[in-house]
C-alpha cells in the first residue's frame, strides 16, 4: 500500500514537471537590422542652385552622373559613392558640344543624422571627393585620351531621406586647387553645386 502511494505521488510530481516545461517557451533574441544600405544614385553638377526648370533642363544637357552608393551606420555613418560622370562644354545652337569630358567620381563622405521622424529624416555630410579623368573628346580633329589624371576636391552639404528609401543630397564642391591658390584649367571639372537622388536598399 505504501509503495502504491509513493508511486502515485511520483507520477503526479513527474507530470507536473513535464507540464511546467511545456509552458516554458524560451525567448528568441531578435536581431537588429544591419546598419547598412546601398543603392543606385543619379545627379548633376550645377553652377548655382536654382529652381528654374529651364535652367535645370539646360544643365542636364551639359552634364550628368550615374552610379551607386553604400552607407555604413545609422546616426553617424560613412558613405562612399561611385559615379560615371559626363561633362559637356561649349554646347552650340545645334546641341553639339565642343568638349566632352568623362570621369570617375568617388566621394568619401562622413554624415550625421540630425532629425529622424520616420517618414522623413535630415542629415549633413562632408568629405573628400576624388575625380579620375577617363577621356576627353573634342569636336575637332584633335582627340585626347589622357586617362588616369586625378583631381581632388572637398564636398559639404546636407539632404533628406523620404519614406525610408528615397535619399536626396545637395552638396557644394570646392576644388583643392582653389583652396591652395592653384588652378589648372585643363582638369577643373566638377565645380559648383552637386545634386543627387537615389534609392536606399538593404
User: What DSSP letter does each residue of 88-121 carry, written as one string?
Assistant: EES--TTS--SEEEEEEEEEEEEEEEEEE-SSEE
Confirm whether pTM is higher than 0.85.
no
For 123-150, how does the pLDDT look when each residue is reduced to its tens digit (9 = 90+)?
999 999 999 989 878 765 555 545 557 7
Q: What is the CATH number of the domain that holds 182?
A: 2.40.160.20
109 phi-psi bin (left φ>0, alpha ψ -120 to 50, beta other)? beta
Q: What is the domain count for the chain?
A: 1
Does residue 108 belong to any structural domain of this protein?
yes
Is 201's pLDDT higher than 90? yes
Does residue 17 belong to any structural domain of this protein?
no
Residue 155: predicted pLDDT: 93
Provide the grid cell at 139: 569636336
159 and 125 Cβ atoms separated by less than 8 Å:
yes
Q: Sorting pLDDT into bands at 50, 70 and 90, what band is 184?
A: very low
Q: Sorting pLDDT into bands at 50, 70 and 90, what band is 183?
A: very low
Instruction: Give the rounded percent of residues in the chain with a pLDDT score beyond 70.
Output: 65
80 vs 71, 83, 149, 170, CA distance in Å?
A: 7, 10, 20, 15
For 100-127, how does the pLDDT look when each residue is reduced to its tens digit (9 = 90+)?
889 999 999 999 999 999 899 999 999 9
Does residue 119 belong to any structural domain of this protein?
yes
Does residue 163 belong to any structural domain of this protein?
yes
Does residue 43 belong to any structural domain of this protein?
yes
For 70-100, how does the pLDDT look when each residue is reduced to its tens digit (9 = 90+)?
999 989 999 999 999 998 876 655 666 678 8
Does residue 26 belong to any structural domain of this protein?
no
Is 67's pLDDT higher than 80? yes
Does residue 24 belong to any structural domain of this protein?
no
Can you give the C-alpha Rg of the chain in angstroms? 29
How much is the average pLDDT of 50-71? 83
- Domain with 36 in it: 32-199
When mean pLDDT is compared across 11-20, 51-60, 156-165, the lowest value belongs to: 11-20
How much is the average pLDDT of 162-166? 92
8 vs 4, 16, 108, CA distance in Å?
A: 6, 12, 74
Helix (H) / strand (E) element for 50: namely: none
Q: Is the dihedral angle over the CA atoms 64, 65, 66, 68 positive or is it negative?
A: negative
Amino acid at each position: 500500500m505504501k509503495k502504491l502511494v509513493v508511486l502515485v505521488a511520483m507520477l503526479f510530481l513527474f507530470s507536473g514537471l513535464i507540464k511546467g516545461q511545456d509552458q516554458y517557451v524560451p525567448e528568441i533574441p531578435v536581431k537588429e537590422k544591419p546598419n547598412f544600405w546601398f543603392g543606385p544614385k543619379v545627379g548633376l553638377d550645377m553652377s548655382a542652385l536654382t529652381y528654374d526648370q529651364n535652367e535645370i533642363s539646360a544643365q542636364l544637357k551639359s552634364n550628368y552622373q550615374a552610379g551607386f552608393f553604400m552607407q555604413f551606420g545609422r546616426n553617424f555613418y560613412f558613405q562612399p559613392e561611385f559615379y560615371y560622370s559626363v561633362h559637356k562644354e561649349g554646347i552650340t545652337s545645334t546641341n553639339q558640344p565642343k568638349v566632352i569630358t568623362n570621369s570617375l567620381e568617388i566621394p568619401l563622405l562622413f554624415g550625421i543624422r540630425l532629425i529622424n521622424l520616420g517618414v522623413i529624416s535630415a542629415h549633413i555630410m562632408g568629405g573628400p571627393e576624388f575625380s579620375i579623368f577617363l577621356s576627353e573628346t573634342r569636336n575637332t580633329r584633335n582627340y585626347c585620351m589622357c586617362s588616369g589624371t586625378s583631381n581632388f576636391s572637398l564636398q559639404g552639404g546636407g539632404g533628406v531621406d523620404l519614406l525610408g528609401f528615397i535619399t536626396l543630397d545637395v552638396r557644394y564642391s570646392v576644388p583643392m586647387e582653389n583652396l591652395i591658390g592653384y588652378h589648372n584649367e585643363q582638369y577643373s571639372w566638377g565645380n559648383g553645386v552637386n545634386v543627387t537622388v537615389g534609392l536606399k536598399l538593404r
